[in-house]
Amino acid sequence: MSTTTLQPATPGADRDRIFEQAAAAAGPAKGSGGPPRADLPALLRAYYRHVSTDDLAIRSDVDVYGAFAAHHHLALERPPGTGRVRVYTPTVAEHGWSAAGHSVVQIVVEDMPFLVDSITMVLSRLLHDVRTVVHPTFDVRRDAAGHLESAAPVAAGSIEAPDGAVRESWMHLEVGRLGDDDEAERVAAECHRVLGDVRAAVEDWSRMHEQVADIVAGTSSAPPPLEPAEVRRAAELLTWLADEHFTFLGYREYVLDRAPIEGGTGEEDVLRAVPGTGLGILREAPGEADSSVAFGRLPEAVRAKAREKTLLVLAKANSRSTVHRPPISTTSA
């Protein structure tokens, strides 16, 4: 993946002039819904906070303003618990600004961990090189329906949004030019899917950790009929994983059951999900908990191990995760 590294910028006269000229390029206010003209320099400064002055200087005033104005327009409506995604190739003729011929992915969503890495990874998986990432956060106030009332730069040193506001991530990613509208729709759909998975994993984070703690506690209060050393090692491993050494994305309980063999006679081992136990990316889909058919047929190799008396089994899934965290950098002396 080819990526432009955007270094934290140093405030200065040149930088201030870029934002003043970009604000002037907006022209007089026409109608309602556009960025507030009086706040434009400050909003632009916050929007491009982590973009270097050199990267800004090679863009026209219209393009610097246009990217933010388009993003602000996308943010005008965001019902609670949803994310807004727009994927397109802006042109001066059609949109009043451009991204040097690149296509643009713009996202508005509540600020959460994993966002940048998860979105850039899905774009990479779709074979779209990410050229530029602009990722500001704003403290936003909306009415009950999600209509934008105000967006303010995050105050220096602020950890949480002030009362009545929600901290939002406004992600602007520039990728290689997309072929057609169908491709843009596919990219947008995948981004929506990733945002849903990230939200589910983040919202259920503490409940998944509580489940791990309950399982560990159960190895002491009601130990299974296994060798004590095996039980102790399993509890220690789960405790270590939960101590920020592993990212829990989903949790669900299953029971090992028997079901008729499809197209044959007799029965076979299957996994049956326990309704109401799904957390994170393993939450039940609407209506799934009420389904009468909730069996997971097991591959032959898994069936052979399913009834072994083993407390903890570690396995690798055959699907690719949609939620990613930044790699942990290590240094050695």
C-alpha 197/C-alpha 248 separation (Å) is: 12
Range of the domain at 58: 13-203
Q: What is the structure's pLDDT at 294?
A: 44
- Please give the pLDDT value at position 10: 47
Q: How many domains does the chain have?
A: 2
Assigned domain for 3 exists: no
> Which residues of the chain are modeled with pLDDT < 50?
1-2, 5, 9-10, 290-294, 330-333
Q: Do 275 and 146 fall into the same domain?
A: no
Co-location of 65 and 151 in the same domain: yes
Q: Are residues 191 and 228 in the same domain?
A: no
What's the rounded Cα separation, in Å, for the pair 121 and 112?
A: 16
Query: Does one domain contain both 194 and 259?
Result: no
pLDDT at 328: 57
49 φ/ψ angles, rounded to the nearest 5 degrees: -55, -40
Same domain, 107 and 186: yes
Tell me the two tokens of residue 46. 């916050």
pLDDT digits (tens, 9 = 90+) for 9-68: 445 669 999 999 999 998 776 666 689 888 999 999 999 999 999 999 999 999 999 999
In a domain, 267, yes or no: yes
Tell me, yes or no, whether 327 lies in a domain.
no
Asked if 79 contacts 146 with a C-beta cutoff of 8 angstroms, the reply is: yes
In a domain, 39, yes or no: yes
In a domain, residue 332? The reply is no
Per the domain annotation, does 72 fall within a domain? yes
Q: What is the pLDDT of residue 326?
A: 75
CA atoms of 266 and 275, how far apart (whole Å): 26
d(CA 277, CA 288): 12
Report pLDDT for 293: 40
In terms of domains, do 90 and 156 share one? yes
Give yes or no: residues 119 and 240 share one domain: no
Domain end among 173, 203, 233: 203
Q: Is residue 231 part of a domain?
A: yes
Residues 113 and 257 in one domain: no
Q: Are residues 140 and 232 in the same domain?
A: no
The amino acid occupying position 306 is A
